[in-house]
Amino acid sequence: MSHSCHYPRCGTPTEPRMLFCRKHWAMVPAAQQAAVWATCRATKGREQRMRNAPYLTACAEAVEAVAAKLGVVGAENNVYRRIVKKLGEIAEARNRAATLDAGILAAEAPITCLRRDHAGVHPSPPRDLADPSRKRDLAAIHVAKKQLGMEDDTYRQMLWAIARVRSASDLDHAGRRRVLDHLKACGFKRTRPVANDPQSRKVRALWLGLKDLGALSDASEKALNAFLLRQTGAKALQWASSEQLSKAIESLKAWQRRARLGAPGDEERVDGRAETAA
């Protein structure tokens, strides 16, 4: 049995649902036993219980009650009491942050009202909805939130601290850049989505066709991206526009025609680095 009595330095094996072994549990007054059970049943799972101040307080008082009967000094510094103290410090810090935010909002209120009076509308952060990178950036921000395991409160506090918004949808281009830079500094690693649209599939098919014709020695995605960069300016299929993909398709078709005819030229250097555009 891996679970043991939670009274300090006891270590007697117990059932996972029990706080103490039978010996120490019998020393806990009935009222405190009832408090432990009531607060335990009010939470689900160990993780929730270890964040629940009433349950931790009841456990701390049970430890102290047993220590008092055994004549042990210093039991008021048991692990449950320390956790309760830490939770209190966290709650106090959050309250201070909320008070600070409320003060900032109160200070901004007269300016907001003045703008509303003059413009006739409520001012809101600029949303550059026409920016083609907006959707991609917002998706990356939400992927980073999930990748880093950020809780909603922490995530919104981060947005407020960096860009003074509560929602990523209110970020302008500069705000999205700042937020993504911060998330990368926190450990977020951005991955490219796989390009699977019809034009991208056509580009890949033509590229592999060149390999079959013997015109390429390196048909890897990296070599294809290098070709795209030189021909269209796009760094990868995933980031190429429809016009850029169309240009790449026409260039690859022309290259295949030359390869079939066996026409001499730099494109026959077969490493994807000396192809000639149509």
pLDDT digits (tens, 9 = 90+) for 1-55: 467 887 777 878 888 778 888 888 888 888 888 888 887 877 777 777 777 778 7
What's the pLDDT score for residue 113? 45
From residue 173, alpha-carbon distances to 69, 79, 169, 176, 235 in Å are 65, 47, 11, 5, 20
Task: Return the domain boundaries, the chain.
Answer: 1-123, 134-185, 198-269
The span from the CA of 75 to the CA of 71, in Å, is 10
User: Three-class SS of residue 4?
Assistant: strand
Mean pLDDT on 76-103: 65
Other C-beta atoms closer than 10 Å to the C-beta of 59 total 26
- pTM value > 0.75: no
- What pLDDT, on the 0 to 100 scale, is given for residue 99? 66
The whole-number pLDDT of residue 121 equals 42
* The pLDDT value given to residue 103: 60
Closest CA relative to residue 232, chosen from 246, 219, 221, 222 = 246
Alpha-carbon torsion, ordered 247, 248, 249, 252, to 10 deg = 130
**What's residue 253's pLDDT?**
93
Q: Return the H-helix or E-strand segment holding 182.
A: helix 173-185
Question: Closest Cα partner for 88 from 57, 134, 114?
Answer: 57
The amino acid at residue 170 is D
| Residue of 62, 8, 9, 71 lying closest to 35 (CA atoms) | 62
Residue 64 tokens read as 């102290």
Q: Which residue has the higher pLDDT, 44 or 87?
A: 44
Token couple for 275: 């192809």
The answer for residues whose C-beta is within 8 angstroms of residue 115's C-beta and 6 or more apart is: 123
